[in-house]
Amino acid sequence: MPFRYLGVPLAAQKLKISHYVPFVDKVAAYINAWSSATLSYAGRTELIRAVLQGVECFWLSILSIPSAVIVRIVRLCRVFLWNSKHPLVPWKDVCLPKKEGGLGFKDIKMWNLALLARTLWDIHQKESLWVQRDDSPLLKQLRWIRDKILLEAGSNDAAISRLSCWTNNGRFSISSAYNYFRDKGPLRVWASNAWHPSVVPKHAFALWLAAKSRLLTRDRLLYLDINRSCVLCGTAVETNSHLFFQCPFNSSVWGIIREWLGISRLMSTIPSALKWLKKKAREAKVKRIALACTVYYLWNIRNRKIFEDHRPCIDTVIRKIKTQVYKDTFSLYPHVLIYFEALFLGQ
Per-residue pLDDT reduced to its tens digit, 55-95: 888 888 888 889 999 999 999 999 999 988 889 999 999 99
pTM (two decimals)? 0.86
Which one-letter DSSP state was computed for residue 168?
E
Q: Which residues sit opposite 167 in a β-bridge?
A: 172
Judge whether 97 and 104 are in contact, CB under 8 Å: yes
pLDDT digits (tens, 9 = 90+) for 112-158: 999 988 888 877 766 555 445 556 677 777 888 888 888 888 888 88
Q: How many C-beta neighbours within 10 Å does residue 167 have?
A: 13
Contacts 24+ apart (CB under 8 A), 226-234: 231/302, 231/305, 231/306, 232/301, 232/302, 232/305, 232/312
**CB 250: neighbour CB atoms within 10 A?**
26
DSSP assignment of 289-345: HHHHHHHHHHHHHHHHHHHS-----HHHHHHHHHHHHHHHHHHH-GGGHHHHHHHHH
Are residues 255 and 247 in contact, defined by beta-carbon separation less than 8 angstroms?
A: no
